[in-house]
């Protein structure tokens, strides 16, 4: 609220007491600020510039009111900008409403603040009010309001602003053209955005970057690349926008190709480029490439701040090297909640649950406030080790101690936790009590647990809920089919898959990838596309013979199809992760760690055989599946067969 009186003493907020500002020096900044009597704006502006918080500003504002300078146009502009910087938009709005004759600069300051606070609709309404005064808009306020229209997807309002641009003869102004292009792009009107781009006399890298980003936001990567290809002198920002677009749209391989091209063009990457490329490495599980990109941090003097550091931690974690992630975490001079979150999530993914919980507790003792992401990480850690009591304790703390309402992800962790330990009915009841509507992921987690623990009755009930809600995806139907098949109900299993086809839902194929010599090699079930396929299958047969001597017996019940036993054995043998491992064995030196990324959950038979492969080959094998990491070494797995 604005001060209710012009008295400076009564306008001090309660927390501006002498224990916070104890200086006894009458000539100090704080003493002058508290007792100030201003005669001109020139006296006030230096004090405003030194304000770091809204609490420091309030007594100065009270003194401004007392001395009658509260309608000075320049001071009002500075004050509105300051309140916006402190994100005190309610206070800024009240000050604005007391301005007797607001001008375009005052409107611009408040509109800019509302946009920064993501109040785009309020900004548009305020602009409409300004036009109605009428106050003629200038270049700056028009660029602001076009940004608001783009972020709000307010197409009609933005078109009206475009019309005003023509009337005011501002159409040739480069900043306005850039914002018009961005506005149309965000609204999906690429013909209009392209027209603005085509009318620009200088279609340089900066203008092209805006269009590239807009196309990428909509998943139109081919169109983005077409624009990108037409830019003659690409700067680091333009390259980064294209790389980022590929990463965000699941084209990590293309992102890495672009990064190599960027190097050949001798364009120096910045920290945003490095972060984008590291994210591509994370998607692919490309550890060697990630290490190579990490070397750029030192080579190009890119500061290892929390932004870059957190991305490095995430990359090393997702590429299977939790030790290197911990090394980066230890080297961070400053650790914020984001870097702690990255490390906690990483430890959870690798099954190091107790370490994740301990790091969570350490973060709290160091005064950092956990976020929703923190709790997803630590609850996942509990799930991967069956820590039920601890999971419920942390969920309760989330609400009680930090006032954070659980989201669907947190509930999903708890359902997964209960399902893994076999407390299926309790998990079902937990879902019924949830404060938000369960989604297909929650029900899918319970359905998967029903399959693992052989509960057909509850599995059918859960599948029925999913199918009736039309939230069922391919995983739902496959799981349901597998539940039936595991009980020998082949007709019902075929029927479930038939319904999936009727609805036009495609099953996601199993795919595994491995990085060798900085190249990513992908394999599907029974893949015969690889140039070294003969050597791969020869190695596979050789391994099968050796493993049988080690006591391996195929778990035919994993193959949930009504086929002959011999066919089941072959169906197991050609799983994509086995082909990837065989390629790793024939193409890397003895003793080299083999790292494989799989898009689906590893089946129990593959899990058993990989343990044996690690033993007979004397190799460490790291497999990242949809749920977590498995570190196989000398015949055992880090998950202790609990996954």
Percent residues over pLDDT 90 in the chain? 61
Structure-token pair, residue 234:
């690409």
CA distances from 58 to 48, 62, 90 (A): 10, 6, 14
Separation of alpha carbons 643 and 92, rounded Å: 53
Mapped onto helix, strand or coil, the DSSP state of residue 470 is coil
Q: Is the pLDDT of residue 42 over 80?
A: no
Q: Is the pLDDT of residue 16 over 50?
A: no
How confident is the model over 18-33, as a mean pLDDT? 38
Structure-token pair, residue 277:
């490329």
Separation of alpha carbons 92 and 81, rounded Å: 8
Pair type for strands 621-624 and 594-598: parallel
Helix 104-116 vs helix 139-152: angle between axes, to the nearest 10 degrees?
Answer: 30
How confident is the model over 131-145, as a mean pLDDT? 93
CA distances from 143 to 109, 117, 184, 198 (A): 13, 17, 13, 19
Q: Is the pLDDT of residue 543 over 80?
A: yes
Q: What is the pLDDT of residues 507-533, one digit of tens each?
A: 778 899 999 988 899 999 899 999 999
Neighbouring C-alpha atoms within 13 Å toward the C-beta of 55: 7
Q: Is the pLDDT of residue 449 over 50?
A: yes
Q: What is the pLDDT of residues 611-643, one digit of tens each?
A: 999 999 999 999 999 889 999 999 999 988 877
Separation of alpha carbons 146 and 179, rounded Å: 6
DSSP string covering 385-449: HT-HHHHHHHHHHHHHTT-PPP-HHHHHHHHHHHHHTT-HHHHHHHHHH-SS---HHHHHHHHHH
- On whether the CB atoms of residues 322 and 316 are closer than 8 A, the answer is yes
Q: What is the pLDDT of residues 453-489, one digit of tens each?
A: 888 889 888 888 887 777 667 777 777 777 777 777 7
Separation of alpha carbons 287 and 281, rounded Å: 7
Q: What is the pLDDT of residues 230-258, one digit of tens each?
A: 898 899 999 999 999 999 999 999 999 99
Strand partners, 512: 523, 598
């Amino acid at each position: 609220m604005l001060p209710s009186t012009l008295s400076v003493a009564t306008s001090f907020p309660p927390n501006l007491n002498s224990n916070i500002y104890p200086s006894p020096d009458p000539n100090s900044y704080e003493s002058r600020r508290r007792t100030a009597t201003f005669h001109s704006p020139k006296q006030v502006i230096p004090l405003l510039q030194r304000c770091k918080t809204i609490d420091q500003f309030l007594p100065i504002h009270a003194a401004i009111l007392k001395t009658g300078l509260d309608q000075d146009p320049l001071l009002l502009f500075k004050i509105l900008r300051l309140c916006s910087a402190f994100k005190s938009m309610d206070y800024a709005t009240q000050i604005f409403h007391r301005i007797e004759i607001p001008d375009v600069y005052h409107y611009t300051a408040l509109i800019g603040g509302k946009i920064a606070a993501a109040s785009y609709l309020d900004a548009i309404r305020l602009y409409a009010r300004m036009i109605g005064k009428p106050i003629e808009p200038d270049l700056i306020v028009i660029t602001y309001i076009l940004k608001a229209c783009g972020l709000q997807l307010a197409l009609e309002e933005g078109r009206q602003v475009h019309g005003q641009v023509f009337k005011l003869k501002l159409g040739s102004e480069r900043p306005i053209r850039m914002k018009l292009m961005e506005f149309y792009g965000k609204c999906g009107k690429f013909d209009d955005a392209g027209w603005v781009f085509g009318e620009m006399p200088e279609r340089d890298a900066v203008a092209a970057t805006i269009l590239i980003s807009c196309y990428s936001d909509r998943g139109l990567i081919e169109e983005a690349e077409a624009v990108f290809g037409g830019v003659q002198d690409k700067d680091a920002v333009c390259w980064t926008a294209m790389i980022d677009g590929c990463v965000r749209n699941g084209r990590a391989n293309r992102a890495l190709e672009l990064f190599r091209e960027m190097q050949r063009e001798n364009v120096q990457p910045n920290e945003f480029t490095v972060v984008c490329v590291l994210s591509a490495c994370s998607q692919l599980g490309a550890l060697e490439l990630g290490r190579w990109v990490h070397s750029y941090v030192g080579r190009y003097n890119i500061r290892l701040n929390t932004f870059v550091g957190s991305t490095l931690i995430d990359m090393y974690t997702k590429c299977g090297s939790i030790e290197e992630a911990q090394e980066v975490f230890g080297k961070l001079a400053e650790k914020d909640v984001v870097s702690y979150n990255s490390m906690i999530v990483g430890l959870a993914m690798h099954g190091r649950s107790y370490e994740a919980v301990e790091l969570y507790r350490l973060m709290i003792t160091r005064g950092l406030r956990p976020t929703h992401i923190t709790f997803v990480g630590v609850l996942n850690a509990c799930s991967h080790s069956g820590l039920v009591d601890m999971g419920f304790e942390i969920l309760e703390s989330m609400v009680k101690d930090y006032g954070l309402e659980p989201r669907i992800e947190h509930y999903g962790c708890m359902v997964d936790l209960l399902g893994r330990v076999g407390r299926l009915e309790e998990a079902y009841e937990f879902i019924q009590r949830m404060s938000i509507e369960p989604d297909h992921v929650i029900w899918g987690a319970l359905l998967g647990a029903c399959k693992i623990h052989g509960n057909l009755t509850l599995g059918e009930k859960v599948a029925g809920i999913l199918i009736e809600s039309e939230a069922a995806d391919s995983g739902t139907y496959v799981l349901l089919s597998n539940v039936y098949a595991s009980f020998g109900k082949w007709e019902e299993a075929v029927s479930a898959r038939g319904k999936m086809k009727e609805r036009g839902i495609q099953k996601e194929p199993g795919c595994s990838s491995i990085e060798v010599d900085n190249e990513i090699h992908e394999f599907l079930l029974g893949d015969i596309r690889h140039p070294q396929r003969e050597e791969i299958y020869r190695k596979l047969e050789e391994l099968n013979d050796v493993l049988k001597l080690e006591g391996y017996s195929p778990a035919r019940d994993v193959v949930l199809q009504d086929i002959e036993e011999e066919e089941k054995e072959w169906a197991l043998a050609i799983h994509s992760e086995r082909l990837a491992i065989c390629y790793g064995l024939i193409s890397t030196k003895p003793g080299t760690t083999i790292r494989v990324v799989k898009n689906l959950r590893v089946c129990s038979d593959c899990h058993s055989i990989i343990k044996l492969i690690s033993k007979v080959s004397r190799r460490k094998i790291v497999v990242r599946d949809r749920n977590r990491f498995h570190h196989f070494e000398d015949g055992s797995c880090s998950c202790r067969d609990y996954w």
